[in-house]
Amino acid sequence: MNPTASTGSAATGPLHGVRVLEFAGLGPAPFCGMLLSDLGAQVLRIARPNNPMQSFDGILDRGRVTLTLDLKQRDGIEVCRALSKSADALIEGFRPGVMEKLGLGPDVLLGDNPKLVYGRMTGWGQHGPNAHTAGHDINYIALSGALHSIGSATKPTPPLNLVGDFGGGALYLAMGVLAALLNARSTGVGQVIDCAMTDGAASLMSMMFAMRGAGEWREQRHANLLDGGAPFYDTYRCADDKWICVGALEPQFFAALLKKLDIPVTDYPNHWDRSCWPGMRARFEQIFQSQSQAHWCALLEDTDACFAPILSMSEALTHPHNVARGTFTTHDGLVQPSPAPRFSRTPSSIQESSRADAQTLREWRLPENLIDRVMS
């Protein structure tokens, strides 16, 4: 079943009924909140007053009810503390110690609500020599060994902020929150999740560290199976200056690629032999640059040659596979990725975004005197 944009009906995802209190921030913590909302959680987002909207907020902040509170004021802290008593989980992305200074640290809130799952998202983690210093995705993946392994032979290249912020950060926080929620439901006891992007990015490198340990990974870029070093797992420019990629690692897929390119399989009896890679690359470059991307799509896309055109974001929206699966949708006038993954019984959806009203706060069991203060 395809995910759909909500039309205002109740959430149907597998996390329906789970309450998450999210403290607004940038990047990975909001993305985690978006994921949990897409899965059906009721996410109440605490925003700061007069906080300007960023260009990426339109998607990362989707599907939440937002309550604006001044956390420099006693009333704001009192409301947050009261809301946390009804929350199943809390996520925040401040530097270590900020929530404690506000009086909203885990010792306080787990004392109020022992089943609370308290998720903390930072780049360096809650402790360690770098914990209190500023940084961004590029810094965190640099420390983990990931950035050194990505790029051309002459220069590391940041892979957007996919590896640190979103892969090693938000996804690990979401997984940690779900695991801790399961544990809390069986034990009645919550816990703190220390989610560091350095840890997550390092974890994502597990297979490469295994290959390194087996002597199958060289610590130089563009020299290995999966970093563009192997000519059968790389990108190629076409005659029209568009690009394609091949990933024919296994012998049967490599054979399928060669057959379509009219190259005898006997020319490369062992395509994993590094000594044949320079000549193979030059041959592939000459062949692929002789025709347009459309030509190679027509020849290779419906085969086991492990081929795909390299599409821009605009082109990805109209590719037949993405269209058939509903990979992208339009919500609130903005084209954006649909919720993922897919569920057969409890389909995900993009919930409606709104400002918190009195009824929402009553559902969170906020006392009437605090509701009056918030709504006044």
- pLDDT tens-digit readout, 296-314: 999 999 999 999 999 999 9
φ/ψ (deg, to 5) at 11 = -60, 145
Q: CA 372: distance to chain centroid?
A: 38
Give burial (CB, 10 Å; 0-12/13-18/19+) of 85: middle
Q: Which of 165, 199, 227, 331 is catalytic?
A: 165
Arithmetic mean of pLDDT, 279-291: 98
Q: What is the pLDDT of residue 6?
A: 39
Co-location of 200 and 243 in the same domain: no
Q: What is the pLDDT of residue 1?
A: 35
φ/ψ (deg, to 5) at 246 = -125, 150
Distance of alpha carbon 374 from alpha carbon 376, whole angstroms: 6
Residue 365 has pLDDT above 70, yes or no: yes
**For residue 340, which of 64, 25, 21, 37 has the smallest C-alpha distance?**
37
Q: Which residues form the domain of 113? A: 4-204+339-375
CATH of the domain at 147: 3.40.50.10540
Q: How confident is the model at residue 135 (pLDDT cuts 50, 70, 90)?
A: very high
Q: What is the pLDDT of residue 10?
A: 60
Number of domains into which the chain is organized: 2
Residue 2 has pLDDT above 50, yes or no: no
Query: Which three-class secondary structure state does DSSP give residue 39?
Result: coil
Task: Note whether residue 18 is domain-resident.
Answer: yes
Residues 22 and 29: beta-carbon distance below 8 Å: yes
Distance of alpha carbon 283 from alpha carbon 277, whole angstroms: 10
Residue 198 has pLDDT above 50, yes or no: yes
Residue 123 has pLDDT above 60, yes or no: yes
Arithmetic mean of pLDDT, 121-136: 97
Q: What is the pLDDT of residue 279?
A: 97
Arithmetic mean of pLDDT, 267-271: 96
Q: Give catalytic status of residue 136 as yes or no.
A: yes
Q: Give catalytic status of residue 165 as yes or no.
A: yes
The counts of H helices and E strands in the chain are 16, 14
Q: What is the pLDDT of residues 84-118, one digit of tens each?
A: 999 999 999 999 999 999 999 999 999 999 999 99
**For residue 43, which of 365, 372, 353, 374 has the smallest C-alpha distance?**
353
Q: How confident is the model at residue 13 (pLDDT cuts 50, 70, 90)?
A: very high
Residues 142 and 148: beta-carbon distance below 8 Å: yes
Arithmetic mean of pLDDT, 246-252: 98
Co-location of 181 and 263 in the same domain: no
Query: Which three-class secondary structure state does DSSP give residue 133?
Result: coil
Q: What is the pLDDT of residues 172-191, one digit of tens each?
A: 999 999 999 999 999 999 99
Q: What is the pLDDT of residue 52?
A: 67
DSSP string for 309-375: E---HHHHHH-HHHHHHT-EEEETTEEEEPPSS--SSS--EEPPPEE--HHHHHHTT--HHHHHHHH
Percent of the chain with pLDDT over 70: 96
Co-location of 241 and 116 in the same domain: no
Co-location of 152 and 10 in the same domain: yes
Task: Note whether residue 226 is domain-resident.
Answer: no
**For residue 25, which of 81, 71, 85 has the smallest C-alpha distance?**
71
CATH of the domain at 284: 3.30.1540.10
Co-location of 24 and 158 in the same domain: yes
Q: How confident is the model at residue 4 (pLDDT cuts 50, 70, 90)?
A: very low
Distance of alpha carbon 123 from alpha carbon 130, whole angstroms: 9
Distance of alpha carbon 206 from alpha carbon 217, whole angstroms: 12
Tell me the whole-structure pTM to 2 decimals. Answer: 0.94
Q: What is the pLDDT of residue 9?
A: 45
Can you tell me which residue has the tokens 């199943």? Answer: 88
Residue 200 has pLDDT above 70, yes or no: yes
Q: How confident is the model at residue 58 (pLDDT cuts 50, 70, 90)?
A: confident
Task: Note whether residue 253 is domain-resident.
Answer: yes
Arithmetic mean of pLDDT, 44-55: 82
Residue 315 has pLDDT above 50, yes or no: yes
Task: Note whether residue 334 is domain-resident.
Answer: no
Task: Note whether residue 325 is domain-resident.
Answer: no
Co-location of 59 and 198 in the same domain: yes
Pick from 11-15, 25-29, 36-40 the range whose average pLDDT is largest.
36-40
Co-location of 250 and 192 in the same domain: no
Co-location of 305 and 363 in the same domain: no
Residue 40 has pLDDT above 80, yes or no: yes
Q: What is the pLDDT of residue 5?
A: 40
Co-location of 269 and 350 in the same domain: no
Query: Which three-class secondary structure state does DSSP give residue 247?
Result: strand
Distance of alpha carbon 53 from alpha carbon 55, whole angstroms: 7
Co-location of 11 and 129 in the same domain: yes
Q: What is the pLDDT of residues 140-151, one digit of tens each?
A: 999 999 999 999
Task: Note whether residue 324 is domain-resident.
Answer: no
Task: Note whether residue 213 is domain-resident.
Answer: no
Task: Note whether residue 210 is domain-resident.
Answer: no
Co-location of 309 and 350 in the same domain: no
Q: Which of 57, 136, 222, 319 is catalytic?
A: 136
Residue 3 has pLDDT above 50, yes or no: no
Mean pLDDT of the chain: 94
Co-location of 164 and 294 in the same domain: no
Residue 355 has pLDDT above 90, yes or no: yes
| CA contacts within 13 A on the Cβ side of 66 | 18
